[in-house]
Amino acid sequence: MRRPVFTPIPAPIPGRLWLSAAAALLAGVLSGAVASHAVGSAQEASATIDNFTFAPAQLTVKTGTKVTWRNEDDIPHTVASSSRLFKSKALDTDDSFSFTFTAPGTYEYFCSLHPRMTGSVVVEP
């Protein structure tokens, strides 16, 4: 997600003009932040693998979102759909795996190397 760029006002502006300039700057920053957040969250989401856990354990996204899992643990893990829709290779530390969810539903997954590690992705229309 891109962060808005803040540009300081070079010199103090007196009275009402300062308020107008500040309001315009704030409106621009807020509209940029909202727009980039909406685009980023509608298309991409992420989860981590650490300490034999998927986090978050349940991730809710919109249809068409690409979810990326990143292994931050010291040992290999996989991301495997319970319905065999997707399966990663063994992910070493700092490796990642992505899958794009194109249909609404609840998708349960687990680590095929450590089957007690489970998670789910809820895909909303």
15 lies in some domain: no
Higher-pLDDT residue of 54, 12: 54
66 contact partners, CB below 8 Å, separation of at least 6: 43, 44, 45, 98, 99, 100, 101
- For residues 27-54, give the mean pLDDT: 63
20 found inside a domain: no
Provide the pLDDT for residue 105. 97
Supply the DSSP symbol for 84.
Answer: S
Question: CA 3 to CA 33: how far, in whole Å?
Answer: 7
Place 7 in a pLDDT band, splitting at 50, 70 and 90. Answer: very low
Look up the domain containing 50 and give its range: 43-124
Query: What letter would DSSP give residue 91?
Result: B
Domain count, the chain: 1
**Does residue 19 sit within a domain?**
no
CATH number at residue 114: 2.60.40.420
* Structure confidence at residue 2 (pLDDT): 52
Q: Tell me, yes or no, whether 33 lies in a domain.
A: no
* Residue 22 confidence class, pLDDT cut points 50, 70, 90: very low
Residue 29 lies in a domain: no
How far apart (Å, rounded) are the C-alpha atoms in residues 86 and 70?
A: 15
Q: What's residue 37's pLDDT? A: 31
Q: What is the pTM of this model?
A: 0.66
pLDDT in tens, 50-101: 999 999 999 999 999 999 999 999 999 999 999 999 999 999 999 999 999 9
Whether residue 34 is predicted with pLDDT greater than 90 in this model: the reply is: no
5 belongs to a structural domain: no
